[in-house]
C-alpha cells in the first residue's frame, strides 16, 4: 500500500537483455502483493520473452494491470504528474542503461525512467551484461549519481538454493525490497 492509501503503483520495463524471467516474475510477484503495475517492453524485450519463456505479447501484457506500447509517449507514465511509487527495469540492457544515463528519452521506457529520476522516485535497473566495459561502468555511475539503483541480478548462494527457480525468486524479492514498498521477503543472512 502506498502512502496515499492506494495500492503501490510500479512501472516495470523489460528490455532485450537476457533474463526475461526477472521481469515476468516481478510482474507476477507485484500482482500477488496487490501492487498496480504498468508494463513497458521494448521490441527486443518482447523477442527475448518469447525466446526464453515462450510467452507472446498478449500473455506478457496479461501479467500487468496496464500495458503500454514503447512508442506511446503520451501514456500516463510519461508524465511526472502521474504518481508512481517506483520503477524497475528487469532485465535492463546496456543500451537502455546508456539512454537513461544520458537523459535520452526517445521512447516510453526511457522517458518513464527519466521522469522517475526527475521526480526523485525509486528507479531500480537490473543491468544484464558481463563483463562491463568502461562505458557501461561510467553509465552506471551516472545513473547512481542521479539517484538510480544499479542492481545486476547476481544470485546469492548462502541460503543454499536447490534450483534456478529459487535463485530467481530470491533475486526478485531483493529487487522488490529495493523498490521500498515494504512488502519484500528475501532470504536473510543470519550469520554463521
CA-CA-CA-CA torsion for 131, 100, 39, 177, nearest 10 degrees? 70
CATH of 9-178, one of 3.40.50.300, 2.60.120.10, 3.40.50.1950, 3.40.50.970: 3.40.50.1950
pLDDT by residue, tens only, the chain of 192 residues: 555 678 899 999 999 999 999 999 999 999 999 999 999 999 999 999 999 999 999 999 999 999 999 999 999 999 999 999 999 999 999 999 999 999 999 999 999 999 999 999 999 999 999 999 999 999 999 999 999 999 999 988 988 899 999 999 999 999 999 998 877 777 777 778
| CA–CA separation, 26 and 21 (whole Å) | 8
- For the annotated binding site for dimethylallyl phosphate, the residues are 158, 174
pTM equals 0.94
- Report the chain's terminal Cα–Cα distance, integer Å: 35
Helix (H) or strand (E) holding 113: helix 108-118
| CA–CA separation, 162 and 16 (whole Å) | 28
Report which DSSP code applies to 5. S
> Please, are residues 60 and 39 in contact by the beta-carbon 8 Å criterion?
yes
The whole-number pLDDT of residue 136 equals 98
- For the annotated binding site, the residues are 16-18, 42, 93-96, 128, 158, 174
Residue 105 grid cell: 528519452
- For the annotated binding site for FMN, the residues are 16-18, 42, 93-96, 128
Amino acid at each position: 500500500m502506498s502512502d496515499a492509501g492506494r495500492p503501490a503503483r510500479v512501472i516495470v520495463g523489460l528490455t532485450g537483455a537476457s533474463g526475461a524471467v526477472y521481469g515476468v516474475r516481478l510482474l507476477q510477484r507485484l500482482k500477488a502483493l496487490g501492487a498496480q503495475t504498468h508494463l513497458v517492453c521494448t521490441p527486443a524485450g518482447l523477442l527475448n520473452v518469447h525466446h526464453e519463456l515462450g510467452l507472446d505479447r498478449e500473455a506478457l501484457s496479461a501479467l500487468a494491470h496496464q500495458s503500454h506500447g514503447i512508442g506511446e509517449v503520451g501514456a500516463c507514465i510519461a508524465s511526472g504528474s502521474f504518481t508512481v511509487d517506483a520503477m524497475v527495469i528487469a532485465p535492463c540492457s546496456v543500451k537502455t542503461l546508456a539512454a537513461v544515463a544520458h537523459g535520452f528519452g526517445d521512447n516510453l521506457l526511457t522517458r518513464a525512467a527519466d521522469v522517475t529520476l526527475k521526480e526523485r522516485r525509486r528507479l531500480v535497473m537490473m543491468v544484464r551484461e558481463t563483463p562491463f566495459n568502461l562505458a557501461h561502468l561510467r553509465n552506471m555511475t551516472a545513473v547512481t549519481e542521479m539517484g538510480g539503483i544499479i542492481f545486476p541480478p547476481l544470485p546469492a548462494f548462502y541460503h543454499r538454493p536447490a534450483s534456478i527457480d529459487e535463485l530467481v525468486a530470491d533475486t526478485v524479492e531483493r529487487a522488490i525490497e529495493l523498490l521500498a514498498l515494504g512488502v519484500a521477503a528475501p532470504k536473510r543472512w543470519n550469520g554463521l
